[in-house]
Amino acid sequence: AQSVTQLDSQVPVFEEAPVELRCNYSSSVSVYLFWYVQYPNQGLQLLLKYLSGSTLVKGINGFEAEFNKSQTSFHLRKPSVHISDTAEYFCAVSDRRAGSYQLTFGKGTKLSVIP
Amino acid sequence: DAGVTQSPTHLIKTRGQHVTLRCSPISGHKSVSWYQQVLGQGPQFIFQYYEKEERGRGNFPDRFSARQFPNYSSELNVNALLLGDSALYLCASSLGQGREAFFGQGTRLTVV
């Protein structure tokens, strides 16, 4: 079974400051890793994904994440946030076994950017 | 190109009623998944279909069922609605395993 822990339920940060949203996962098999963003009353939009290769992954809107296999972490970072980044962010995993597509999500981290 | 479309966007039902939610995937996508997102929580996996076959089922009661049609669209059915079924129901489509899942805007179901 897989599980995802997002260590912070809420993160307030001032505009133009850096931010890190933390994600740890637990799985008995190799996984794919994803970060999604959800704006109020909307569906989920993919920010970035790790499938294989370089452990530093760059996504949209200036976000990046680093896969650390030894620490089973996939933390999301942005060097300078904007007001428009205020949203809820979800970390998700799916395993690599053939035929398995299910995404397991964390509980989410609400990012509030303060002007 | 149209994204994942879900209908209806909002729905109010009474306890004990039945509901059908619909999802049209992105053209060319053969995989459709359903998720339930209760307020303040992350999405929970309900079902996944690929090429019209059920490929995964989450920990939900038998009141929940789904199917995928030859055109790859999908329906999620919930019988005997409970107040706890109130949630945002999200549909996602993808090309296949390990590929990006694209989510629709969701159907907000309120059970009163």
Full set of structural domains in chain B with CATH: 5-111 (2.60.40.10)
- Give the chain B residue nearest A5 (alpha carbons): B42
Average confidence (pLDDT) over A70-97: 93
> B52 is written with which tokens?
């019209």
Mean pLDDT (chain B) is 93
Average confidence (pLDDT) over B56-63: 94
CA distance B26 to chain A (A): 14
A15-19, A40-44, A75-79, A99-103, range with the lowest pLDDT: A99-103
What is residue A110's predicted lDDT score, i.e. its pLDDT? 97
- Please check whether residue A94 touches B, CB under 8 A: yes
**What is the DSSP pairing of strand A44-50 with strand A109-114?**
unpaired
Which band of pLDDT confidence, cut at 50, 70 and 90, is reported for residue A100? Answer: low
From chain A residues 13-72, the ones with a CB under 8 A of any chain B CB are 32, 34, 36, 41-46, 49, 51
Q: What is the DSSP letter of A72?
A: T
Cross-chain CB nearest to A105 (options B43, B98, B106): B43
What is residue B97's predicted lDDT score, i.e. its pLDDT? 66
* Position B1 pLDDT exceeds 70: no
Cross-chain CB nearest to B98 (options A32, A45, A46): A32
Q: Are A25 and A74 in contact (CB under 8 A)?
A: yes
CA distance A103 to chain B (A): 7
User: What is the CATH number that goes with domain A3-114?
Assistant: 2.60.40.10
CA distance B104 to A76: 23
Chain B residues with CB-CB distance to A101 below 8 A? 31, 33, 48, 50, 55-56, 94, 96-97, 101
Q: Are B14 and B86 in contact (CB under 8 A)?
A: no
Which band of pLDDT confidence, cut at 50, 70 and 90, is reported for residue B62? Answer: very high
Q: Tell me if A100 and B33 make a contact (CB, 8 A cut-off).
A: no
In angstroms, what is the C-alpha Rg of chain A?
14
Neighbours of B81 (CB within 10 A): 19
Q: Tell me if B35 and A103 make a contact (CB, 8 A cut-off).
A: yes
What number of CA atoms fall less than 13 Å from residue A66's CA on the CB side? 6
